[in-house]
């Protein structure tokens, strides 16, 4: 029994001695390495619109119909005097631009008072207005951080260009971009089924949401089995699009004087008139479009005539482009503000709006083209291009062009293989 007690005491003393020795050894090691500090990892500050969001109670909302800034802020304790100060800063942001359906956020103090300290209004997907009420009133126009990605897209026309974008999960605004690039060479009201397009471009993204197309670098449009290339190139400090031969795609005249319509009647020497109920020449192209649709001049020139024909064209504008070409725009609902005879107009400038004045059964634009005073079919006018690639820029342009054409052709090859696989699977 005594031996057991002595053994127990010995083991206890040994354990204490070992612990003491190890602690001393640790202290020596720590002393050699310098003082030991306990490290605390700080939580990163989470910011939105440059504001630390964890410090506030945030209320989100959407601007309601007929709701303005006063309705939103006065309900949160902001005085009419402060709101008036905000409204007066029109050079920074006009509060009348606040639109129903757009999002806003209220940053309230994290206490029982819940004082409004920041108001954020999302004007677009990326741009926002920030109003700070803390300390002093301050307005800031901000932009959310975005990412630009290089994209490639392909598609086939089944109905129209817009639908083709939707069918292929492409930003539908691409249809507008392409229609403007090819406005001088392709009539987008006359697209054929099975026309195809291939595009290399940059697109801006906010997280995974498209915030808009930045620039189309190159495109290939196969229209009626003919290839139309568009290569972006900067010449004389101006960026524009050229074809594979170095000719500018921008020509003296646009292919059509308005966007998003359909041709309801073509150029004819014997057309049955829907009002007069007789056959007579119709030396123009009728574009059916909703009343109020903007109408643009197809080229530079000056307003030769602006008037009204009760038994004919209704409100009309006639533009003389040069000594050879003149165009006429008829049945207008009204004219662009301030437009008058003798005014100089530029290509793509607003001149009026689609209407149904004069002899007309519905809203449309009667567009006419005259060459040396004689009517010609607007759809068959082949205007000369503007200045091509200059000799001094040819080598640089050819390098860029060849690289993009290689990429576009590779894209076409891959798309056609994919298209063939889809057909085989369907069979």
C-beta separation of 385 from 221 below 8 A: no
- pLDDT for 151 equals 95
The pLDDT assigned to 360 comes to 84
Confidence class for position 426, pLDDT limits 50, 70, 90: low
Tell me, what's the pLDDT at 56? Answer: 94
DSSP string, 208-244: TEEEEEEEEEEEEEEETTEEEEEEEEEETTEEEEE-T
Q: What is the pLDDT of residue 283?
A: 77
- The continuous run of DSSP H or E covering 334 comes out as strand 325-335
Overall pTM surpassing 0.75 (yes/no): no
* Phi, psi torsion values for 157, nearest 5 degrees: -80, 125
CB of 233 within 8 A of CB of 239?
yes
- Region 307-323 average pLDDT: 90
| pLDDT surpassing 50 at residue 25 | no
The tokens of 273 are what?
A: 């008139």
**Residue 31 in this model has a pLDDT that exceeds 50:** no
Nearest residue to 371 via CA among 325, 319, 305: 325
Q: What is the pLDDT of residue 311?
A: 78
Residue 16, pLDDT > 60, answer no
Judged against a pLDDT cut of 70, whether residue 26 lies above it is answered with no
Contact 170, 212 (CB under 8 A): no
The reported pLDDT for the residue numbered 134 is 84
Residue 331 vs residues 161, 176, 268: alpha-carbon distances, Å: 27, 26, 18
pLDDT digits (tens, 9 = 90+) for 237-249: 889 999 999 999 9
Give 55's DSSP letter.
G
Mean pLDDT of 171-185: 88
Structure-model confidence comparison of residues 424 and 318, the more confident one: 318
What domains, with CATH codes, occur in the chain? 47-143 (3.10.450.350), 147-242 (3.10.450.350), 262-380 (2.70.70.10)
Cβ atoms of residues 82 and 52 within 8 Å? no
Percent of the chain with pLDDT over 90: 57
pLDDT per residue as tens digits for the range 197-250: 999 999 999 988 888 999 999 999 999 899 999 999 999 888 999 999 999 998
């Amino acid at each position: 029994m005594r031996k057991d007690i002595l053994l127990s005491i010995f083991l206890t003393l040994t354990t204490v001695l070992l612990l003491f020795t190890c602690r001393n050894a640790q202290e020596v090691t720590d002393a050699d390495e310098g003082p030991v500090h306990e490290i605390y990892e700080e939580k990163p500050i989470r910011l939105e619109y440059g504001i630390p969001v964890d410090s506030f109670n945030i209320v989100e909302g959407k601007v309601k119909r007929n709701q303005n800034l006063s309705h939103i802020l006065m309900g949160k304790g902001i005085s009419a005097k402060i709101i008036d100060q905000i409204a007066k800063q029109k050079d920074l942001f006009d509060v009348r631009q606040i639109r129903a359906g757009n999002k806003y956020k209220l940053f309230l103090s994290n206490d029982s008072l819940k004082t409004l300290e920041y108001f954020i209004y999302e004007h677009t997907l990326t741009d926002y207005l920030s109003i700070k009420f803390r300390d002093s009133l301050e307005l800031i126009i901000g932009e959310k951080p975005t990412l630009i990605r290089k994209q490639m897209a392909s598609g086939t026309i089944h109905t129209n260009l817009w639908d083709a974008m939707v069918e292929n999960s492409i930003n539908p605004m691409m249809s507008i971009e392409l229609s403007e690039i090819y406005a001088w060479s392709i009539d987008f009201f006359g697209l054929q089924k099975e026309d195809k397009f291939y595009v290399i471009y940059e697109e801006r993204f906010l997280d995974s949401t498209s915030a808009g197309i930045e620039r189309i670098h190159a495109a290939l449009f196969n229209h009626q089995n003919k290839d139309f290339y568009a290569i972006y190139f900067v010449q004389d400090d101006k960026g524009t699009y050229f074809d594979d031969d170095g000719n500018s795609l921008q020509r003296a005249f646009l292919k059509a004087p308005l966007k998003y319509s359909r041709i309801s009647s073509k150029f004819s020497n014997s057309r049955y008139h829907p009002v007069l109920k007789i056959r007579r020449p119709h030396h123009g192209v009728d574009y059916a479009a909703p009343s109020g649709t903007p109408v643009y001049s197809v080229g530079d020139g000056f307003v030769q005539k602006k008037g009204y024909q009760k038994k004919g064209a209704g409100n009309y504008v006639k533009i003389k482009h040069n000594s050879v070409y003149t165009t006429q725009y008829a049945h207008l609902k009204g004219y662009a503000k301030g437009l008058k005879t003798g005014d100089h107009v530029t290509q793509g400038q607003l001149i009026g709006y689609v209407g149904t004045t004069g002899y007309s059964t519905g809203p449309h634009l009667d567009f006419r083209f005259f060459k040396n005073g004689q009517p010609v079919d607007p759809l068959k006018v082949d205007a000369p291009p503007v200045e091509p690639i200059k000799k001094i820029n040819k080598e640089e342009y050819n390098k860029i062009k060849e690289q993009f054409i290689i990429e576009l052709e590779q894209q076409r090859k891959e798309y056609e293989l994919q298209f063939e696989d889809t057909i085989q699977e369907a069979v």
